[in-house]
């Protein structure tokens, strides 16, 4: 029997706390957004030792890997851009081809570097998502999260999370390809091109929320791949603005962290060992970005799970209301 069909399996959307929050359907999007954020913070604080262990084992190593990748790939990307600019200014075609050949070689080395980091980052990301979603679902249901349950969730659900992750990346890649093609087609119409950019950016942020909920769905329910995406679309219906605002908040916060890191790396002399050592010595004040980003990753997974539970509860309430209306209509006809 599946988890969805088992009556003994606790519904993550059904809170057992003595003072449940008011119905999400009766509040404004901003009120619901702040309620979800504050509830997620309260869950982390209430079970701080449990989430601290999850953070130390998954989110923090993931943040270290991502920052290490960014710092390692940045000098290569700088060299690629410099070589491409130099190739455009070359006086002869032969010299330009030689420079572009060197640029492609550098680009391939950057691609190999990213490929080497991709597998451990994917493993840690799935582990952080599965453990955080399982623990947050238990907390919302009024149960105490257990580290053994979180480990079991990672061990038992990593495969379907991997399949859904591939579908999520494919969906996002397809969307970005369509928007890029549309902007290229409107290159000679700057007004329409800017409008397409705004609409595409808004849809991209909303799609991030839907895809994030799909990852929670695949962990807490027996849904895999595009089936999880369809379930996520159905869940978010009626709560689109809440998902959009939550996604905007985390996009702004993560973007700010990466801009600070990129700003600290720009203007450095990466061609000499002295320049690299000088930057590493002065990294002290930037070191807080690594644990901060890891904490942001963990918080985002908790927020997504709380949002999922709110959507699940709302859909259950709407279904009960419709069933009640149907029964009343049937009685009236009799």
How far apart, in whole angstroms, are the C-alpha atoms of residue 288 and residue 304?
24
Helix-strand-coil split of the chain, %, nearest 5 = 80, 0, 20
Predicted pLDDT of residue 284: 56
pLDDT band, residue 23 (cuts 50/70/90) = very low
Cβ-contact 88, 115 below 8 angstroms: no
Which stretch of 8-17, 223-232, 314-323 has the lowest confidence by average pLDDT? 8-17
Here the tokens at position 35 are 């309620």
CA angle (16, 211, 41) in 5-degree steps = 40
Mean pLDDT throughout 24-53? 82
Average pLDDT along the chain: 77
Share of the chain above pLDDT 70, in %: 78
More confident residue, 314 or 10: 314
Give the number of residues written for the chain: 334
Cβ-contact 139, 54 below 8 angstroms: no
Q: Taking the model in full, what pTM does it have?
A: 0.77
Tell me the per-residue pLDDT of 261-296, one tens digit each, with 9 for 90 and over.
Answer: 776 665 555 555 545 555 554 555 567 788 888 899
Here the tokens at position 204 are 């991209």
Tell me the per-residue pLDDT of 57-91, one tens digit each, with 9 for 90 and over.
Answer: 999 999 888 888 887 777 777 777 777 777 777 77
pLDDT band, residue 15 (cuts 50/70/90) = very low
Mean pLDDT throughout 210-235? 88
Predicted pLDDT of residue 279: 53
293's CB contacts (< 8 A; 6+ apart) are 63, 66, 67, 254, 257
How far apart, in whole angstroms, are the C-alpha atoms of residue 43 and residue 36?
10
Tell me the per-residue pLDDT of 168-204, one tens digit each, with 9 for 90 and over.
Answer: 999 889 888 888 888 888 777 778 888 888 888 888 8
Using CA atoms, how far residue 132 sits from 40, 265, 306, 317, 318, in Å, is 11, 32, 11, 26, 27
SS (H, E, C) 262-315: HHHHCCCCCCCHHHHHHHHHCCHHHCCHHHHHHHHHHHHHHHHHHHHHHHHHHH
How far apart, in whole angstroms, are the C-alpha atoms of residue 184 and residue 203?
18
More confident residue, 99 or 205: 205
Predicted pLDDT of residue 302: 93
Predicted pLDDT of residue 144: 87
Tell me the per-residue pLDDT of 120-168, one tens digit each, with 9 for 90 and over.
Answer: 899 999 999 999 998 888 888 888 888 888 888 888 888 888 999 999 9
């Amino acid at each position: 029997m599946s988890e969805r069909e088992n009556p003994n399996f606790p519904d993550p959307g059904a809170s057992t706390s003595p003072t449940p929050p008011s119905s999400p359907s009766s509040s404004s999007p901003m009120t619901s957004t702040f309620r979800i954020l504050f509830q997620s913070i309260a869950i982390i604080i209430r079970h701080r030792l449990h989430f601290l262990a999850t953070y130390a084992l998954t989110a923090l190593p993931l943040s270290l890997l991502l920052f290490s990748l960014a710092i390692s790939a940045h000098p290569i990307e700088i060299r690629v851009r410099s070589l491409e600019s130099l190739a455009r200014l070359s006086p002869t075609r032969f010299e330009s081809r030689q420079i572009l050949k060197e640029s492609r070689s550098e680009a391939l080395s950057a691609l190999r570097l990213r490929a080497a980091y991709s597998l451990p980052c994917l493993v840690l990301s799935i582990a952080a998502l599965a453990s955080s979603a399982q623990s947050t679902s238990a907390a919302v249901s009024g149960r105490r999260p257990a580290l053994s349950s979180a480990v079991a969730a990672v061990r038992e659900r990593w495969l379907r999370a991997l399949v859904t992750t591939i579908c999520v990346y494919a969906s996002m890649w397809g969307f970005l390809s369509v928007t890029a093609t549309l902007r290229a087609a409107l290159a000679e119409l700057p007004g329409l091109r800017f409008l397409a950019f705004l609409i595409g950016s808004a849809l991209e942020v909303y799609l991030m929320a839907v895809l994030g909920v799909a990852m929670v769905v695949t962990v807490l329910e027996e849904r895999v791949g595009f089936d999880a995406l369809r379930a996520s679309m159905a869940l978010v219906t009626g709560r689109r603005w809440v998902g959009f605002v939550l996604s905007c908040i985390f996009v702004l916060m993560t973007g700010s962290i990466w801009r600070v890191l990129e700003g600290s790396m720009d203007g450095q002399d990466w061609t000499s060992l002295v320049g690299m050592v000088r930057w590493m010595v002065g990294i002290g004040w930037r070191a807080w970005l690594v644990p901060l980003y890891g904490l942001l990753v963990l918080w985002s997974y908790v927020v997504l799970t709380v949002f999922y539970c709110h959507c699940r509860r709302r859909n259950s309430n709407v279904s009960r209301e419709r069933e009640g209306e149907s029964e009343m209509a049937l009685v009236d006809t009799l």
